[in-house]
Amino acid sequence: MHITTTPTPTAKPCIRDYSELVTTVVPEAFAKLVPLEELQRRLSEVAREKPHLAEETPLYLKNETRRRAAFEGAHLR
């Protein structure tokens, strides 16, 4: 759901849509459990099925990739 109804030439991510993506469409628990390739595939499906979330899916993938990189090898410390 967007506040403005006029189309913009370059769509910008919306925090409300990102919240919907993270809480209901692809919950964080799911994102943490599946391999990164599967998450990328699922997010590309979401972007095609729900065009209003297309700007937020790359952010979600980037954030999850960054989170995994931060914990890479943490069990070895």
Task: Please list the pLDDT of the chain residue by residue as tens digits (77 residues).
Answer: 556 555 555 567 888 999 999 999 999 999 999 999 999 999 999 999 999 999 999 999 999 999 999 988 766 55
**Does the residue 4 lie in any domain?**
no
Q: Is the pTM of this model over 0.85?
A: no
* Whole-number pLDDT of residue 41: 97
Q: Which residue range(s) make up the domain with 54?
A: 15-70
**Does the residue 75 lie in any domain?**
no
In the chain, the number of structural domains is 1
Q: 55 and 11 in contact (C-beta within 8 Å)?
A: yes
* Whole-number pLDDT of residue 71: 86
* Whole-number pLDDT of residue 14: 86
Name the residue among 74, 39, 70 with its Cα closest to residue 57.
39
**Does the residue 26 lie in any domain?**
yes
